[in-house]
Amino acid sequence: MRTSYPLLPWIGVISLGYAIGPWFARGTEAGQRRQLLLGTAIGALGLFLVLRLLNGYGEKPWLSGDTAVQTLMSFFNITKYPPSLLFLALTLGIGLLLLVLFERRNDGRAVRWLAVFGAAPMFFYLLHLYVLKLLYLASVAIWGTNHGQYFGFDSVLAVWIAAALLALALYLPVRWFARLKARRRDIAWLKYL
């Protein structure tokens, strides 16, 4: 069987998440958890910076551009598929910093909103793929292609706005499924979604 999906790196990321699970156990002090998260985040981001500054490890070397923005874009031009060590160090480091920030702020509202997506992540992932496909087909049918053979956005800002709107649109279905998962523990396969 052939697959182009990079399974092993993502299993590693899932394993890392499982390994830090005890940091979130009831007996763990919040201050201790924040220190562990912050230290791990700094370590991951430090690893990213050191490896990227060496400019020869695992990725296409970054180049100085005509402007600072071009140089910065080249520096952060890293590979997601398959996920490189640089990609994982950067994104997991930022994610761990966000966990520290959310826990420190802990106003509850933003955390509860985001926790809905965390309660049914695979459901959200699969649902968003199908919704994006339907939106793409509808856009091509309505407006046609605007980038050669494809329909696409003209700016990164438009992509970010579309991503935010998609998350808002999928909030209620994901919340419904998360509640179903919590209610129906007798249906074993639901926990995988």
Q: 100, 26 in Cβ contact below 8 A?
A: no
Task: State percent of the chain over pLDDT 70.
Answer: 95
pLDDT for 7: 75
The closest of 140, 156, 158 to 148, measured between CA atoms, is 140
Residue 1 pLDDT greater than 70, yes or no: no
Residue 46 pLDDT greater than 70, yes or no: yes
pLDDT for 131: 95
Average pLDDT of the chain, as a whole number: 88
- The residue whose two tokens read 């910093």 is 97
Confidence band for 34, pLDDT divided at 50, 70 and 90: very high
Residue 6 pLDDT greater than 80, yes or no: no
pLDDT for 139: 92
CB neighbours of residue 139 within 10 Å: 14
pLDDT for 129: 93
Dihedral (CA of 36, 38, 40, 43) sign:
negative
Mean pLDDT of 7-13: 84
Residue 157 pLDDT greater than 70, yes or no: yes
Q: 57, 86 in Cβ contact below 8 A?
A: yes
Q: Where are the beta strands (DSSP E) in the chain?
A: none
State the Cα–Cα distance between residues 36 and 103, nearest whole angstrom. 13
Structure tokens at 137: 């087909």
Residue 102 pLDDT greater than 70, yes or no: yes
Residues near 29 by beta carbon (within 8 Å), at least 6 away in sequence: none
Alpha-carbon distance values, 184 to 54, 113, 179, 180, 187 (Å): 51, 21, 8, 6, 6
pLDDT for 113: 83
Q: Domain-by-domain residue ranges, the chain?
A: 1-106, 108-193
